[in-house]
Amino acid sequence: MKIACVLDRGFEDSEYEKPYNAFKEAGHEVTIIGHEAGKEITGSKGRVTTKTEKGIDEVGPDEFDALFIPGGSSPDHLRYNAKVNRFVAALMEAGKPTFAICHGPQLLIAADQYRDRTMTAWYTIQDDLKKMGARVVDEEVRVDRNLVTSRKPDDIPAFIRESLALMKEPAKTR
């Protein structure tokens, strides 16, 4: 599968790096998409640096089979961009597998893709989601149709397991 990873500075290092590596090892193609192409970005812990491969103006949702939204402050830096929000909304509305960890669901709020969903997130984002009317659970991982969500770095193994499992399912069963 071709996975779009929306990313900006301040991402949580392990929430990006571990799923990214697991997706690549499983044979998936992951493209890092940011506000602009070629921008070097560093994680919040300063251990991981990567570069955006495509800018949001260069891609369309039809080019990808899945969406990956790492946590940290990256989602907050991305959500002010209406093009990012439309991209996220289009992938979700098309029923494509979407993986959001920690603060990742901030982008789902900005893209208006939280209604009629059961999900989890970082504790402060759980509160935001509840106030918006989403069904929120405090679990290491939650799968709701095409959406996989997790709370924090400790949940990464379950997040990866369920994300990879969802990508193996035929689209009709989601």
Q: Which of 7, 69, 100, 102 is catalytic?
A: 102
Residue carrying the six token digits 């709701």: 144
User: Does position 131 have pLDDT exceeding 80, yes or no?
Assistant: yes
Closest-CA residue to 119 (of 158, 155, 88, 149) = 149
Q: Is 5 a catalytic residue?
A: no
> Percent of the chain scored above 70 by pLDDT?
97
Q: What is the pLDDT of residue 173?
A: 58
The whole-number average pLDDT for the span 17-34 is: 98
The whole-number average pLDDT for the span 120-137 is: 95
Q: What is the pLDDT of residue 174?
A: 56
User: Does position 41 have pLDDT exceeding 80, yes or no?
Assistant: yes
169 band by pLDDT with thresholds 50, 70 and 90? confident
**Exposed e or buried b per residue across 95-133, where buried means at least 16 C-beta atoms within 10 angstroms of its C-beta:** ebbbbbbbbbbbbbbbbebbeebebbbbeebbebbeeee
User: Does position 21 have pLDDT exceeding 90, yes or no?
Assistant: yes
User: Does position 33 have pLDDT exceeding 80, yes or no?
Assistant: yes
| Domains defined along the chain, listed by start | 2-169 (3.40.50.880)
Q: What is the pLDDT of residue 172?
A: 57
